[in-house]
Copies of this chain bind each other. A is one copy, B any other.
Amino acid sequence: MAERFVVRTPGRGFIDITRQVAAAVSTAGAVSGVANVFVRHTSCSLLISENADPSVRHDLEQWMGRLVPDGDPVFSHDMEGPDDMPAHIRSVLTGVSLTVPVLDGRLLLGTWQGIYLWEHRHQGHRRELVVSCVPGL
């Protein structure tokens, strides 16, 4: 059975969920194969990024804010505010599904890789995640 958990975000920014994902994988037992992490929303996303220096996330946010600016007049969909459509675009660009190899119940991430939930709305949200463990050959 997949593990499901909720992350409450404080607003736009990154939340390191590596530990929650690792715990969900560990709960499934000493399996080898892959784990899929999935977030059930269209205005946040998942990514694997550098986990050592917070300035990487800071710069990522700055760069993305320039690529997909809030309140861009090209957007007609702004019912929930100037960050509504930008959140959908950021979610499409970085994706809502990540698959990571697993060995003996442990994520085979590189030393500098962390798994992050990226909240794209300025307001905090309740985000549902699903971690599925799939045994390999």
Interface on A for B, CB 8 Å cutoff?
A: 1-2, 28-29, 31-34, 36, 38-43, 47-50, 53, 55-56, 58-60, 62-63, 66-68, 72, 74-77, 79, 85, 88-89, 91-103, 108-113, 128, 130, 132-137
Specify which chain B residues have a CB less than 8 angstroms from the CB of A43 in the assembled complex. Answer: 50
Contact among B39, B79, B110 with A40 in the assembled complex (CB-CB below 8 Å) = B110
A135 to B2, CA, bound (A): 11
Q: A74–B66 contact, CB under 8 A?
A: yes
Q: Are A59 and B76 in contact (CB under 8 A)?
A: yes
Closest B residue to A53 by CB, please name it: B77
Evaluate contact between B59 and A77: CB separation under 8 angstroms. yes
